[in-house]
Amino acid sequence: MQQDIQKVIITEGEIHSMVRALAHRIQAEHNGETLHVVAIYDGSILFLADLIRHMSIPLRLYGLRAKSYFGGTQSTGRVEISGFDPAEVRGQPVLLVDDILDTGLTLHAVRRQLEEAGAMSVKTCVFLCKERIREVPVEADYHCRTIPDEFVVGYGLDYRGLYRNLPFVGILKREVYLP
């Protein structure tokens, strides 16, 4: 696995201090509320586990899977969610957690479904933001770091299901995914 990594861009130590600081910031801004954390699996699970263990406010945890269907052009992305009924968080303050914000299609679509189901508020939280133009209008209310537009793996992020267990974030060598 390590031999497929071109460069480590975020070390294990950096991840832990960034995630801890972000958790403290989020909890300070939600004092007195029971936070309803809705996480997008599988990519977010390592970030999610570290993030919530640094929070001491009451929270409920929900998980969903999001499947993207992309049509012939870039803008026809459609996202279907499963494993969770957005009505469960009606009237509640929601923290929507994902691993990385790239085109924005996933976060935008899931946020809209939560809002349509009547969530009181939806704040978005991702571990990483890619520096690129989003295809839909969505940004993260909370994130740990902005990274260049490169394909990265580790700390939950995968390529074809692999590399999620790397404790750092690294750029995947192009020869791994290019023919």
Q: Which residues bind Mg ion (CB under 5 A)?
A: 43
**Roughly what angle, to the nearest 10 degrees, separates helices 12-29 and 45-53?**
60
Number of residues that bind ligand IMP (CB under 6 A): 16
Q: Which position among 102, 141, 149, 158 bears the catalytic label? A: 102
Nearest to 111 by CA among 136, 128, 134: 136
Query: What tokens does 105 get?
Result: 């299609």
Among 27, 92, 103, 124, binds ligand IMP (CB under 6 A): 103
Tokens representing 116 are 């349509």
- In the complex with ligand IMP, the residue whose CB is nearer, 57 or 112, is 112
CA distance 10 to 15: 7
Say which DSSP state 74 is in: G
For 168, other C-beta atoms within 10 Å of its C-beta total 18
Site for ligand IMP in 104-123 (CB under 6 A): 104-107
- Give CA separation, 30 vs 38, 57, 161, 166, in Å: 15, 8, 34, 31
Q: Which stretch binds ligand IMP (CB under 6 A): 13-21, 51-59, 117-125, 153-161?
A: 153-161
168: which DSSP letter?
S
Interface mask (CB under 6 A) for ligand IMP, residues 22-51, using x and -?
Answer: ---------------------x--------
Kindly tell me which of 7 and 90 has the beta carbon lying closer to ligand IMP.
Answer: 7
Instruction: Please indicate whether residue 99 is annotated as part of the active site.
Output: no
Judged by beta carbon distances under 5 to 8 A according to partner kind, the member of Mg ion, ligand IMP, none in contact with residue 104 is ligand IMP
Q: Is 151 in the site for ligand IMP (CB under 6 A)?
A: yes
User: What's at 56, amino acid-wise?
Assistant: S
Nearer to Mg ion, 35 or 99 (CB): 99
Q: How many angstroms separate the CA atoms of 120 and 128, rounded?
A: 25
Of residues 63-102, which lie at the interface with ligand IMP (CB under 6 A)? 98-102
Q: Which positions touch ligand IMP (CB under 6 A)?
A: 43, 98-107, 151-153, 157-158
For the annotated catalytic residues, the residue numbers are 102
